[in-house]
C-alpha cells in the first residue's frame, strides 16, 4: 500500500496540484486554509481524496471565526488572511473544517496510526520540534505504529521506541529558506520524505484576486519565493518594502 501524507497546505493550490504521486490512500494532517489565496480548491481536493484528515489550528480559526491580532510575522498574516478566507468559503466548507476531528486513531493495512496536527497533549497549538525525547513524553501510552503530525512546518521522520513519528513538512508555506513543497510517502512500510518544485509564481499571481491588504501580499510573495519570512525594510520615501517584492506585488494588488 502506498500512502500519501500531506499537511499545512495553507490554501496554496499550485503546490497541492503539483503533487502527482500515485497513491492508494491520502492522509491529511491539517491546516488546509489561511495564508494562501485559494482555499476552495484545496478543501475540495482534500474532501474528495483524503481518507482521513484532522483539524489544524488555522482550520479551527477559520471555522469558528476566531479573532486574532498580530503586528508582524506569521501572526500578522493569520490576522490579515483569516476574514478574507472566511469570505471566500461557503457554509458547507466551514462546516467541513469545523467537523474535522482533532485526533484520529485508526488501523490501515494492519498498522495502527495516531494522527494529530500539533501533538496529543495539545492537538491544535503545541509546537514540538524534531526531538525524540520530547516526542516520547507526548506519545507515551499510545500503542501505535505511526504518529503523523504537522504544525511546525519541519519535515522529519524518527523512531521513538517502537513508534515512527512522521512530520511530512508543509506542502504550501515554507519557513526554512527552501520554497519547495514537502510531503511524505509510506510505501509498504518504507518512509520517503519528499520535496518538489511548484509554480510559486502562480500562487503569487493568485494573491491579486484576494482582498488581502498590500502588506500581506508583499510578505506572502517573499515567503513563496524565498521559503522564509522576510522582515520589512524601509525603502525610499519612507515606503515599506519587502526585499524587492514591493513593485512586483503592487502590480497585482
Q: Tell me the pLDDT tens digit for each residue of 93-148.
A: 999 999 999 999 999 999 999 999 999 999 999 999 999 999 999 999 999 999 99
Determine the pLDDT at residue 29: 98
* 204 and 155 share one domain: no
Q: Domain range holding 212?
A: 200-250
Same domain, 236 and 147: no
Residues contacting residue 156 through CB under 8 Å, at least 6 positions apart: 130, 165, 166, 167, 169, 193
**Low-confidence residues in the chain, pLDDT < 50:** 234-253
- Pick from 81, 69, 10, 74: nearest CA to 42: 10
150/213 same-domain check: no
pLDDT of residue 70: 78
pLDDT score for 69:
86
The answer for 229, left when phi > 0, alpha when psi is -120 to 50, beta otherwise, is beta
On whether both 17 and 68 belong to a single domain, the answer is yes
The CA-based dihedral angle spanning residues 115, 119, 123, 125, taken in that order and rounded to the nearest 10 degrees: -140
Residues 217 and 241 in one domain: yes
Which residues does residue 177 pair with via DSSP β-bridges, in sequence order? none
Structural domain ending residue among the three candidates 171, 196, 221: 196
pLDDT at 108: 97
Query: Do 204 and 139 share a structural domain?
Result: no
Identify the domain boundary among 152, 180, 196: 196
Q: Do residues 21 and 119 both lie within one domain? A: yes
Structural domains counted in the chain: 2
81 and 152 assigned to the same domain:
yes
**Shared domain check, 239 and 215:** yes
Amino acid at each position: 500500500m502506498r500512502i500519501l501524507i500531506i499537511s499545512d497546505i495553507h490554501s496554496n493550490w499550485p503546490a497541492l496540484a503539483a503533487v502527482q504521486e500515485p497513491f492508494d490512500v491520502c492522509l491529511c494532517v491539517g491546516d488546509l486554509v489561511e495564508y494562501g489565496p485559494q482555499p476552495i480548491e484545496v478543501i475540495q481536493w482534500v474532501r474528495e481524496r483524503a481518507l482521513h484528515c484532522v483539524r489544524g489550528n488555522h482550520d479551527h480559526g477559520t471555522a469558528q471565526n476566531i479573532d486574532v491580532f498580530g503586528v508582524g510575522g506569521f501572526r500578522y498574516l493569520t490576522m490579515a488572511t483569516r476574514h478574507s478566507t472566511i469570505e471566500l468559503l461557503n457554509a458547507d466548507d466551514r462546516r467541513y473544517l469545523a467537523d474535522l476531528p482533532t485526533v484520529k486513531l485508526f488501523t490501515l493495512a494492519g498498522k495502527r496510526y495516531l494522527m494529530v496536527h500539533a501533538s496529543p497533549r495539545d492537538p491544535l497549538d503545541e509546537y514540538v520540534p524534531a526531538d525524540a525525547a520530547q516526542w516520547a513524553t507526548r506519545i507515551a501510552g499510545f500503542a501505535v505504529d505511526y504518529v503523523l503530525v504537522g504544525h511546525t512546518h519541519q519535515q522529519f521522520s524518527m523512531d521513538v521506541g517502537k513508534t515512527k513519528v512522521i512530520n511530512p513538512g508543509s506542502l504550501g508555506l515554507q519557513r526554512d529558506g527552501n520554497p519547495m513543497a514537502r510531503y511524505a510517502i509510506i510505501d509498504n512500510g518504507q518512509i520517503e520524505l519528499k520535496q518538489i518544485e511548484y509554480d510559486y509564481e502562480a500562487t503569487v499571481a493568485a494573491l491579486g484576486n484576494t482582498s488581502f491588504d498590500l502588506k500581506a501580499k508583499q510578505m506572502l510573495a517573499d515567503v513563496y519565493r524565498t521559503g522564509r519570512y522576510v522582515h520589512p525594510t524601509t525603502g525610499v520615501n519612507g515606503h515599506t518594502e519587502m526585499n524587492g517584492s514591493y513593485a512586483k506585488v503592487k502590480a497585482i494588488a
